[in-house]
Amino acid sequence: MADGVEDKSLDAPVESPGISTEQRLQSRVSAATLEGDRLADAERKRQRQALELQRERVLSERTSSPHRRTALEGALADIEEKLGELGWTIHL
């Protein structure tokens, strides 16, 4: 640091009486698992939001073409299937 103060890293070994290396390792593994779960939840939320936006766009399209309508219905079914895999349900 600029003032000559050393930054104590969280990765540096901490010597605590009564805490074994195995317990410290387990604590780090638990923290990493929680962080991974949090990131996975955030990613699922982003995916769900993106799919919900796609669904709204498909639902807002109007067409008189039977071929285009069939394509939109297929796209909607695909989007709703993916949303279902993420635990989404239709809110009426």
Count other C-beta atoms under 10 Å from residue 55's C-beta: 19
Report if residue 1 sits inside a domain. Answer: no
pTM exceeding the 0.85 threshold for the entire prediction: no
Report if residue 2 sits inside a domain. Answer: no
Report if residue 6 sits inside a domain. Answer: no
Report if residue 16 sits inside a domain. Answer: no
Structure tokens at 66: 């039977």
Tally the domains of the chain. Answer: 1
Q: How far apart are CA 32 and CA 60, in angstroms?
A: 42
In tens, the pLDDT along 17-66 reads 677 887 777 777 777 787 788 888 889 999 999 999 999 999 999 999 99
Range of the domain at 48: 21-85
Q: Is the pLDDT of residue 72 over 80?
A: yes
Q: Is the pLDDT of residue 6 over 80?
A: no
| pLDDT for 35 | 79
| pLDDT for 86 | 87
